[in-house]
Amino acid sequence: MSDEIKKGLLGIVVDETEVSKVMPEINSLTYRGYAAQDLCAKCKFEEVAYLILNGELPTKKQLKKFEKEERKERKLSKTLLDDIKKFPKKSHPMDAARTAVSIMGLEDKETKDNSPKANMRKVMRIFAKTPVALAAFYRARKGKKIISPKKNLSFSENFFHMCFGKVPNKEIVKAFDVSLILYAEHSFNVSTFTARTITSSLSDIHGAITGAIASLKGPLHGGANEEVMHMMNKIKKPENALKWINKALDNKDVIMGFGHRVYKSGDSRVPTMREYFGKVAKIKKDKKFEKIYDIVEKVMIDRKNIHPNVDYPTGPTYHLMGFDTDFFTPIFVISRITGWSAHIIEQHAANKLIRPLASYRGNKHRKVLQLNQR
């Protein structure tokens, strides 16, 4: 067996999937064969969630049933709500999300049942309850009263309602929906691979999603959307952007929201999200971040030929919508639960324990000395 190391599994194909693919012939990310931007134009998030989980776009009747189930499952147990109120106020909301899903696993009567039907029921519960838990934490940590979910609101509308006590205009909700569609799935990325690895030992779905959330938190993955906002806040105003980015590149800094393991000449999700970022900026009458965005992007392409990834436009879009910066990656979570779940179900259906090898570089064999001889 060859000892050649592919650090970061670079270029290694480890399994098959039917969930998504970046199709070079159309230069686009596709879910179950549909281009993500086509889905953004024609569907709401719930339709795409259904597609990712079930393999086909829903009919009107199927969508109605799916939405009804999701809305029914939104309610949190009193224990979970009380726990959320006790979470340290300064803890990162990604840690709150991870803990909330883990608590849901303690409470779920079907945690141990990995049959396809039980898994789908658990997916619906995690999918419906996680945004509600996060919105509850959003308010609890500010000392504000937690708002109950409303069954007459869509997935996105309900999240706004529970965080802010009101639903913004349709264009803002659509921009949020679009961001969720673009974040929903991306094949064997770090968090999905984490979820599949946990699943491969025949562990349960709550555990796999808890692990995936921990993996998404890192700044090289989902955490980048928060870092983009920190960068924009450091730059402060468009007049500073050129100098700031040139200096950062001279210092060989990694610029968050740029680069991608799969896309080397541009993330296919960016043009759609950039368009909606522009729409939100117009509605909010705040063009500052758009100007900073364009300057930094141009320098990155001119000097490094490195293009933005989807976290670059989502960061300032969520900021303009009014979300706290540390809630950007949790928003990614509430969407990516769909992709993770589809992969967990796929892994269970054709499981093989994921167990790679390592090339050993440690000490040669040696004898243990008793404590008094060391």
Using alpha carbons, select from 352, 255, 351 the residue that is nearest to residue 308. 255
222 counts as binding ligand CMC under rule CB under 6 A:
yes
Judged by beta carbon, residue 281 or residue 306, the one nearer ligand CMC is 306
Separation of first and last alpha carbons in the chain: 38
Please tell me which residue in 83, 267, 311, 343 is annotated as part of the active site: 311
Which residue in 114, 158, 189, 347 binds ligand CMC (CB under 6 A)? 189
The half-sphere exposure of 86 on its side-chain side, counting CA atoms within 13 A, is 7
Q: For residues 278 and 290, what is the distance between their CA atoms, to the nearest angstrom?
A: 7
The residue nearest ligand CMC at its CB is: 259
| Residue pair 169/148 in contact by the 8 Å Cβ criterion | no
176 counts as binding ligand CMC under rule CB under 6 A:
no
* Tokens representing residue 47 in the block: 């339709």
220 counts as binding ligand CMC under rule CB under 6 A:
yes
- Helices H, strands E: what count in the chain? 16, 3
Judged by beta carbon, residue 152 or residue 305, the one nearer ligand CMC is 305
255 counts as binding ligand CMC under rule CB under 6 A:
yes
Number of residues that bind ligand CMC (CB under 6 A): 19
The half-sphere exposure of 48 on its side-chain side, counting CA atoms within 13 A, is 32
Judged by beta carbon, residue 167 or residue 249, the one nearer ligand CMC is 249
CB of 223 to ligand CMC, least distance (A): 8
Rg (the chain; Cα; Å): 22
221 counts as binding ligand CMC under rule CB under 6 A:
yes
Distances in Å between the Cα of 136 and the Cα atoms of 87, 91, 147, 164, 338 are: 11, 14, 7, 11, 21
- Classify 42 as helix, strand or coil: helix
73 counts as binding ligand CMC under rule CB under 6 A:
no
185 counts as binding ligand CMC under rule CB under 6 A:
no
306 counts as binding ligand CMC under rule CB under 6 A:
yes
Stretch of 41-49, 137-145, 202-210, 301-309 contacting ligand CMC, by CB under 6 A: 301-309
Q: For residues 263 and 306, what is the distance between their CA atoms, to the nearest angstrom?
A: 10
| Residue pair 352/312 in contact by the 8 Å Cβ criterion | no
Binding mask 256-295 for ligand CMC (x = CB under 6 A): xxxxxx----------------------------------
Query: Could you tell me where the DSSP H helices lie in 108-154?
Result: 116-140
221 is catalytic: yes
348 is catalytic: no
The sign of the dihedral angle between the CA atoms of 270, 276, 280, 283 is: positive
CB of 131 to ligand CMC, least distance (A): 19
Please tell me which residue in 260, 319, 343, 348 is annotated as part of the active site: 260
Which parts of this chain interact with ligand CMC (CB under 6 A)?
8, 189, 220-222, 224, 254-261, 304, 306, 309-311
Q: Which residues are catalytic?
A: 221, 260, 311
